[in-house]
Amino acid sequence: MSAIEPSERHQTQADGAQLQQPRHFRRLFSYVAEYKFIFFIAILGMLGYAAIDVFFLSNIEKFIDDGLTAKNSDLLFKMGLAIPAIFLVRGISNFVSTYALAWVGNQVVAKIRQQTFNHLMHLPVSFHDQHSTGELISKITYDTEQLNNTSSKALTIMIREGAFVIGLLAWVFYLSWQLSLVFLILGPVVAIIVKTVSKRFRQVSRTIQNAMGGVTSTSEQMLNSHKVVLTHAGQEIEANKFAKINNVNRQQQLKLVSTRVMSVAVIQIIASFALATVLIIASKPEFLQSLSTGTFATVLTCMMMMLRPLKQLTTVNSEFQKGLAACASVFAVLDQEAEKDQGSKELERVKGNIEIKALTFTYPNAKEPALKNVNLSIPAGHTLALVGKSGSGKSTLSNLVTRFYDIEQGQILIDGNEVKSATLASLRKQFAIVSQSVTLFNDTIANNIAYGLGDNVSSEQIIAAAQAAHVLEFTDKMPDKLDTIVGENGVMLSGGQRQRIAIARAILRDAPILILDEATSALDTESERHIQQAIDELRQNRTAIVIAHRLSTIENADTIAVVDHGQIVEKGSHQALLDKGGYYSALYQLQFGSNENN
């Protein structure tokens, strides 16, 4: 047991995240650096915008002293002509800086979002097992969007308003260094407040991101399970579950707002003390006599004008910290190690001879092994059927053959080649998989059948595969036939129709090894008979691993292996196992005994 209390552990994680903030910012800026020319133009525009504002305010002294007080009409006329030109340049600078920075920001977000999407596809199955789909979707959508606020909106305000404040301070210091000393005294106080508030912003932002992951995950589960919710009258359960998560998000958003408002108020109060101090100092007769009306008005105006950018700088700090917290979240995914492809051997089309030797495997965070010392031999062209109770380890075996998980102990060899020695792409090219849970994309039936094969297949080949899998039996009745859009995950089709498409996909793939995981489980009796014929034809001259609960579908298998608690407890042909009167015979009697009695 760890000696660290949970609160201490969370504080340690928060402190660690805080220490990583500069690194995250540098990493984010490395993306911006790729577009450094446009970014440089944006900075020039922002600095030009701020410089024009400072220039305009700096001329108040001349306007009052030389124009109004000295009654210099010529100066006032020239100023009147210059003002529209100055504001035209100001508007152009604002447009250029805003558009250029928005362009850079969107480029950065699009690139990071694409990298996150691509990287998630290359992460191992074990990573996806430990993270909900909703959480990962939130990182691709919500978290990456927060980066846009950091790289565009926040940087715009920080650079432009920051330059404006620095320019005003420099001009005030030029006019009266004595009055400027007030800011040098109050500056460290403001810095401490900003540092404290920034830490609070980061903590709340991380909580908001976790809450948004929960919102996405809960919404996704409800939408995917909508029929189950309706059937079991679970609307109130789901509504309450979502309300709790939604309320957490609301509370954290309010904490962010309250922190932002309080920090703005405190800094403005401090600025008001600075303004009051200036007025008190300037009220002394000997000091007042040394300042002209224009100089004093300029100093006062500059100090008043500082309140707005100070407020914006404090407000945007929350967006900046949210962006940095999002950086930490997204970069944590990008830093995950991709699926290891340590193999170097490029497998050509194999014959399909599979040897499994002393195979033992335990899932991450599991206490008991899913497979224990499994030994199997599947000659090329033969069919191995795996039967047993749910959770006995049948699907785990197929996942290890395809290297969705890495082998810990033992060996799996295909045509004498260890699967570890083969490249993942060439290894998985040897397999066609039809599972109980069919995945279809929101595309046409034809494109779903040809998925992953690109332009390497013709329409005739797709039609032939569809015919072999009895897909044409229902597509010929549809207006668009094979060009019918199936909807998200085939929602427009029945379970049996989806499975026929998956079998057609396997037929078209023409791989030397088949893995059929409950391939006919969702079919009615007539459809099962047709599909079983297609599968029997498909299995000709191919090695097949069939996982089945319906024992009628695997009676003709060359070898049947009974799996129980991760071990092979029986192995042999259908008739040999029945004659043995063991596990398989008991399973068979359980399924067919009542029918035989009738």
Mind listing the pLDDT tens digit for each residue in 329-348?
888 888 888 888 888 888 88
d(CA 538, CA 533): 9
**Nearest to residue 20, comparing CAs of 324, 256, 319?**
324
**Fold equal for 22-334 and 430-544:** no
Q: pLDDT at position 225, please?
A: 63
Q: How many CB atoms sit inside 10 A of residue 598's CB?
A: 5
User: What band does 282 get if pLDDT is binned at 50, 70 and 90?
Assistant: low
| CATH architecture, domain defined by 430-544 | 3-Layer(aba) Sandwich (3.40)
Q: pLDDT at position 184, please?
A: 66
Largest CA distance in the chain: 120
What value does the mean pLDDT take over residues 456-478? 86
Per mean pLDDT, which range of 5-19, 136-150, 459-473 is the poorest?
Answer: 5-19
User: What band does 443 get if pLDDT is binned at 50, 70 and 90?
Assistant: confident
Q: Is 414 helix (H, G, I), strand (E, B) or coil?
A: strand
**Nearest to residue 125, comparing CAs of 405, 364, 438?**
405
Q: Is residue 60 a contact partner of residue 294, using CB atoms and an 8 Å limit?
A: yes
d(CA 382, CA 526): 26
Superfamily the domain 22-334 falls into: ABC transporter type 1, transmembrane domain (1.20.1560.10)
Q: pLDDT at position 232, please?
A: 55
Strands (E), 389-531: 409-414, 417-418, 431-434, 513-517
d(CA 406, CA 77): 82
DSSP assignment string, 549-579: S-GGGGTT-SEEEEEETTEEEEEE-HHHHHH
d(CA 444, CA 563): 38
d(CA 32, CA 30): 5
Strand partners, 567: 564
User: What band does 510 get if pLDDT is binned at 50, 70 and 90?
Assistant: confident
What value does the mean pLDDT take over residues 435-459? 83
Which tops the pLDDT comparison, 153 or 83? 83
User: What band does 5 get if pLDDT is binned at 50, 70 and 90?
Assistant: very low
Q: pLDDT at position 194, please?
A: 65
Sign of the CA dihedral with 413 first, then 414, 416, and 422 last:
negative
Q: Given a cut of 70, is residue 317 above it in pLDDT? A: no
- The pairing of strands 354-361 and 409-414 is antiparallel
d(CA 159, CA 201): 20
Q: pLDDT at position 198, please?
A: 65
Q: pLDDT at position 205, please?
A: 67
Whole-angstrom distance between the N-terminal and C-terminal Cα of the chain?
59
**Nearest to residue 511, comparing CAs of 588, 384, 402?**
402
Tokens 């939604």 -> residue: 246
Q: pLDDT at position 191, please?
A: 65
User: What band does 150 get if pLDDT is binned at 50, 70 and 90?
Assistant: low
Q: Given a cut of 70, is residue 201 above it in pLDDT? A: no
- Going from N- to C-terminal start, the domains of the chain cover 22-334, 430-544
What value does the mean pLDDT take over residues 193-221? 69
Q: Given a cut of 80, is residue 483 above it in pLDDT? A: yes
What value does the mean pLDDT take over residues 83-111? 85
d(CA 81, CA 158): 32
**Mean pLDDT for the chain overall:** 78
Copy the structure tokens of residue 242: 């979502």
pTM score above 0.75: no
What value does the mean pLDDT take over residues 111-119? 88
Q: pLDDT at position 12, please?
A: 40
Q: pLDDT at position 11, please?
A: 41
What value does the mean pLDDT take over residues 428-455? 84
Give the highest mean pLDDT range of 314-323, 458-467, 533-542: 458-467
Which tops the pLDDT comparison, 454 or 567? 567
